Amino acid sequence: MLDINLLRTDPEKVRENIRKKFQDSKLPLVDEVIEMDRAYREARQRADSLRNQRKTLSKQIGGLLAKGQKEEAEQTKAQVAALGDELKALEEKEESLQAEIRKRMLVIPNIIDPRVPIGRDDSENVEIERFGEPAVPDFEVPYHVDIMERLKGIDLDAARRTSGNGFYYLLGDIARLHSALLSYARDFMIDRGFTYVIPPYMIHSDVVNGVMSFAEMENMMYKIEGEDLYLIGTSEHSMIGRFIDTILDEETLPQTLTSYSPCFRKEVGAHGIEERGVYRIHQFEKQEMIVVCKPEDSPMWFDRLWQNTVDFFRSIDIPVRTLECCSGDLADLKVRSLDVEAWSPRQKRYFEVGSCSNLGDAQARRLQIRVRGGDGQKYLAHTLNNTCVAPPRMLIAFLENNLEADGHVRIPEPLRMYMGGKERI
C-alpha cells in the first residue's frame, strides 16, 4: 500500500506506475482517492473546529449557571448539543471515507524499482545469469513420476482416493530424500547466519490482508470454515505477520530468519492442478528466507537472498538461472522480484523453483511494522522474502539432474549425512 502523501504530491507518478504494470483499469482509482482524501481532510478539519467550539461553550455553561443566567446556559447547552450532532455526522463521514480510501489504496500497485523491465506477463521476464552447465545425458530421462514409481517412492492413486488431485504419498527413499533436502536447506541457512523458526500454519484475516493482495488471497488461500483463520500458502505470511503492530528498535535490524512450514494453496488460475505429477499441487513443504530491515538496506538484502538460493542449488550440482520479473508479472505489493529456475534435462529447459521479492514498505504499512531510529523518530521497515527450497517440486530437478543410466539416483555429498550415508538410491 502506498503512502497517501505520494498521491497528494505526485499523482502522475502513481498513474505512470499503473500504466507500466498494464493495469489501466485502475487509473480512475487515483482520482477517486484524491477526491475522497480532500473530502476526508475537510471533514476532519471541520470536526476539529467543532470540538474546539464545543469545549469552549461547555466551559461557559458552568459560568453562566454560577451567575444565575439559567436561560443563557440552556441556550448554550442547545448549541453544544447541535454541535454534537454535527460532530457525530462528521465522524461517521470520516470513518466511511477512510474505509473507502483504504479499499482503493489496497489495490493500487506499489511503485516498482527502476531496474524492473517493462512487460505484460512472465513471457517477457528477462534472463540475467546462468550458473552451472546445463547438460542432457545420452539416455532418456523419464517423467519425474515414473522415476519415483520405479523407486517405489510415490503413490498418486491412493492420494486421489483420499484427497483428490493435487495430493501425493511419498514413500521410502523418496520420502527420505524429500526430508533430507529440507534438513540440508535448514542447516544451509543457519550456517549463513539466519535464525531458524517454525511459525504458525494458520493466520487471521488481518494478517492475510497485510501480506498479500485480495486477488492473490482469493486464488491461493484456504479458509477455515466458521473461524477467522486461513491456512498459510507460504511461511512468509505468518513470519511477516509476527511483526504486526510492533515497533522494532533500529539496533535489532536486520531480522534475518529462515522458516520451515507446510504450505497449502488452491492453485486457482490458468495453470491448474496436474492430474499426474508433483509440480503444481495443493500441499507442499518449504524452507523460506525472511528479512525485515532498514529501507536503505533492502536492495543489498535482495541480492543476498537470491544468491543464497543459487548457492544452495549449485552445492548439490543443479544448474540454475535467474530471471528478472517484468512489471506485468509482479504482484501488486512487490517492488522487485527475481525467479530462480532449475535445469530440466528431460524438458531441455529451465523451470521455476524459487522466487525472491522485495516488497519495500508495502507490507509494513499495512501491518504497521515500524522502526524506532536512534533519534527516536519512527519509520516503516522494509520486508523481503525468498524461497530456499520447496520440495516436492524441487525433487523434479534433483531427480532429473542426478539420474544415472541404470535408473539409480546419485546422492550428492552434502545430502548423504541426511540419507544415512547413502551415495545412491
Catalytic residues: 265, 280, 352, 355, 393
End-to-end C-alpha distance for the chain, whole angstroms: 49
Q: In the 3-class helix/strand/coil scheme, how is 88-135 assigned residue by residue?
A: HHHHHHHHHHHHHHHHHHCCCCCCCCCCCCCCCCHHHCEEEEEECCCC
Side chain identity, residue 327: S
Q: Which of 133, 134, 138 is nearest to 404 (CA)?
A: 138
- Those residues with Cβ within 8 angstroms of residue 359's Cβ, 6 or more apart along the chain or in another chain: 110, 333, 334, 335, 382, 383, 384, 385
Long-range contacts of 183-190 (CB under 8 A, 24+ apart): 183/418, 184/316, 184/414, 184/415, 184/418, 185/287, 185/312, 185/388, 185/389, 186/258, 186/260, 186/287, 188/308, 188/312, 188/315, 188/388, 189/258, 189/287, 189/289, 189/308, 189/388, 190/258
Q: Which of 133, 109, 145 is nearest to 30 (CA)?
A: 109
**DSSP codes, 373-389:** -TTS-EEE-EEEEEEEE
